[in-house]
């Protein structure tokens, strides 16, 4: 008689956030296959306690952080690394927001774990270091981001040499139809009203500026080893097609589903296998019609081009892009700057700081801190 395989141990970093809670819903349904052995969060202690009661993990970490410090990413890193490198953890779901997730990803990969990566900022800051950590420790990164999960689902079984081009879809965010003038009046509430996805505050603002799509282009470059000229973006307001992959014979494969993060989270846990799961709403092409596509208006959403240019420039530029954006978004959410101030803040930091040295983790994190300082000085906040 065949014995069922032992459940795989999972750590969820950022368990109280949007992706963290989504991951726990999926893991709750898949208890035969996965066991939650570690949880960390740095907000919503009551929810963390409730999660700990429900899943009884061996490790629970409430991570302190100082959101306004230049080196906010450093705080609480030890607890994240402790959770990510445990012997009873096979898969680390990194659902932390921002640069704070970097060291835990590197440590998990060096320890040979699978990282189910939602924390795209990690790859943007230090894509080469992540690649090196995978090679050194035999770990692997499997994307949670829906667009990259879609690409992975389309290309699995095909070498990169058979891919001609990928096209990431973007919902266009809440300001898809707004004029440049109107964008200068956008409030935090306006920006948080995303048309298709319910997500954490930072990524929701990134979706409104399209900085999120820039982060995703860089993420795709590092995940799939694709040159930037082969990664494109199209606006698809319904968020049903999550990406297209065009192969060298001209055939285009797309992955679709109703907009839910449960599917990419589940696939990141089970890739390349698929397992039965009844949590994803049924696909109804008629109800989901029409599906439409538009070009990006770069004049109204300059953050996308700024981020792609930073990716192409390489070196410290992607880390500077990410940190300047994180800092400007935090200032916008705190009511200190306007929505239209975000792209100029990124642009100014890139002009000044893109040439900083970027060969090591320390140098990249110095560039990260310099970009945050630059934005704070620019707006005296």
Binding site for ligand NAD (CB under 6 A): 14-20, 41-43, 63, 65, 72, 76, 95-97, 100, 118-121, 145, 197, 199-200, 203, 261
Q: Which of 121, 145, 326, 366 binds Mg ion (CB under 5 A)?
A: 145
**Least distance from C-beta 291 to Mg ion, angstroms?**
17
**Least distance from C-beta 216 to ligand NAD, angstroms?**
9
Answer for the pair 74, 80: CB distance below 8 angstroms, yes or no: no
**Least distance from C-beta 69 to ligand NAD, angstroms?**
10
Strands 241-247 and 252-256: antiparallel
C-alpha of 82 from chain center: 22
Per partner kind, with CB cut-offs from 5 to 8 A, the member of Mg ion, ligand NAD, none near residue 97 is ligand NAD
Select 110 or 325, whichever has its Cβ closest to ligand NAD: 325
Nearest to 55 by CA among 27, 33, 82, 80: 27
Any contact of residue 219 with Mg ion (CB under 5 A)? no
**Least distance from C-beta 216 to Mg ion, angstroms?**
5
Per partner kind, with CB cut-offs from 5 to 8 A, the member of Mg ion, ligand NAD, none near residue 213 is none
> Is the four-CA dihedral 251, 268, 198, 286 of positive or negative sign?
positive
Cα–Cα distance, 331 to 209 (Å, whole number)? 14
Select 241 or 331, whichever has its Cβ closest to Mg ion: 241
**Least distance from C-beta 39 to ligand NAD, angstroms?**
9
Per partner kind, with CB cut-offs from 5 to 8 A, the member of Mg ion, ligand NAD, none near residue 70 is none
Please give the C-alpha separations between residue 106 and each of 38, 262, 368, in angstroms, as whole numbers. Answer: 17, 25, 17
Cα–Cα distance, 103 to 117 (Å, whole number)? 13
**Least distance from C-beta 122 to ligand NAD, angstroms?**
8
Q: Footprint of Mg ion on residues 273-302 (CB under 5 A)?
A: none
Per partner kind, with CB cut-offs from 5 to 8 A, the member of ligand NAD, Mg ion, none near residue 96 is ligand NAD
Per partner kind, with CB cut-offs from 5 to 8 A, the member of ligand NAD, Mg ion, none near residue 119 is ligand NAD
Select 17 or 111, whichever has its Cβ closest to ligand NAD: 17
Select 70 or 145, whichever has its Cβ closest to Mg ion: 145
Which H or E run contains 72?
none
Cα–Cα distance, 378 to 373 (Å, whole number)? 8
Which residue's beta carbon is nearest to the bound ligand NAD?
Answer: 17
Q: Footprint of Mg ion on residues 237-256 (CB under 5 A)?
A: none
Select 24 or 358, whichever has its Cβ closest to ligand NAD: 24
DSSP 255-271: EE-SS-SHHHHHHHHHT
Which residue's beta carbon is nearest to the bound Mg ion?
Answer: 145
Select 147 or 368, whichever has its Cβ closest to Mg ion: 147
Answer for the pair 307, 262: CB distance below 8 angstroms, yes or no: no
**Least distance from C-beta 140 to ligand NAD, angstroms?**
18
**Least distance from C-beta 185 to ligand NAD, angstroms?**
26
Binding residue count for Mg ion, defined by CB under 5 A = 3
Select 173 or 246, whichever has its Cβ closest to ligand NAD: 173
Cα–Cα distance, 12 to 6 (Å, whole number)? 19
Select 22 or 146, whichever has its Cβ closest to Mg ion: 146
Select 100 or 246, whichever has its Cβ closest to ligand NAD: 100
User: What's the order of all strands across the beta sheet hosting 163-170?
Assistant: 231-235, 163-170, 241-247, 252-256
Nearest to 16 by CA among 35, 43, 55: 43
Q: Footprint of Mg ion on residues 182-201 (CB under 5 A)?
A: none
**Least distance from C-beta 49 to Mg ion, angstroms?**
30
Residue 274 phi/psi, 5-degree rounding, is -120, 140
Cα–Cα distance, 77 to 142 (Å, whole number)? 22
Please confirm whether the linkage preceding 272 is cis (ω < 30° from 0): yes
Between the two ends of the chain, the Cα-to-Cα distance in Å is: 66
Strands 34-41 and 8-13: parallel
Contact positions vs Mg ion (CB under 5 A): 145-147
């Amino acid at each position: 008689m065949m014995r069922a395989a032992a459940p795989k141990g999972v750590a969820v970093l950022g368990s109280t956030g949007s992706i963290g809670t989504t991951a726990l819903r999926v893991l709750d349904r898949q208890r035969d296959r996965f066991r939650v052995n570690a949880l960390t969060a740095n907000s919503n202690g009551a929810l963390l306690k409730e999660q700990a009661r429900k899943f009884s993990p061996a490790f629970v970490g409430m991570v302190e952080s100082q959101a306004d410090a230049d080196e906010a990413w450093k705080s609480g890193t030890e607890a994240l690394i402790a959770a990510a490198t445990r012997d009873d953890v096979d898969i680390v779901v990194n659902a932390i927001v921002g640069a704070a997730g970097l060291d835990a990803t590197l440590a998990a990969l060096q320890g040979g774990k699978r990282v189910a990566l939602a924390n795209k900022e990690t790859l943007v800051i230090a894509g080469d270091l992540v690649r090196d950590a995978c090679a050194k420790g035999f770990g692997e990164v499997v994307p949670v981001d829906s667009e990259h999960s879609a690409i992975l689902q389309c290309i699995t079984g095909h070498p990169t040499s058979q891919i001609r081009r990928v096209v990431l879809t973007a919902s266009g965010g809440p300001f898809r139809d707004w004029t440049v003038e109107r964008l200068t009046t956008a409030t935090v509430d306006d920006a948080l009203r995303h048309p298709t996805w319910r997500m954490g505050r930072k990524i929701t603002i990134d979706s409104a500026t399209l900085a999120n799509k820039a982060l995703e282009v860089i993420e795709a470059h590092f995940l799939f080893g694709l040159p930037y000229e082969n990664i494109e973006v199209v606006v698809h307001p319904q968020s049903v097609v999550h990406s297209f992959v065009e192969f060298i014979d001209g055939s285009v494969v797309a992955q679709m589903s109703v907009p839910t993060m449960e599917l990419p989270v589940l696939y990141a846990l089970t890739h390349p296998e698929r397992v039965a799961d009844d949590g994803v709403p049924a696909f109804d092409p008629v109800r989901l019609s029409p599906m439409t596509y538009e070009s990006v208006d770069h004049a109204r959403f300059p953050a996308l081009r700024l981020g792609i240019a930073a990716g192409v420039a390489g070196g410290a530029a992607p880390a500077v892009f990410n940190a300047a954006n994180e800092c400007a978004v935090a200032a916008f959410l705190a009511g200190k700057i306007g929505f239209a101030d975000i792209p100029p803040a990124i642009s100014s930091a890139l002009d000044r700081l893109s040439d900083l040295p970027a060969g090591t983790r320390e140098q990249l994190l110095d560039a990260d801190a310099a970009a945050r300082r630059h934005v704070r000085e620019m707006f005296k906040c």
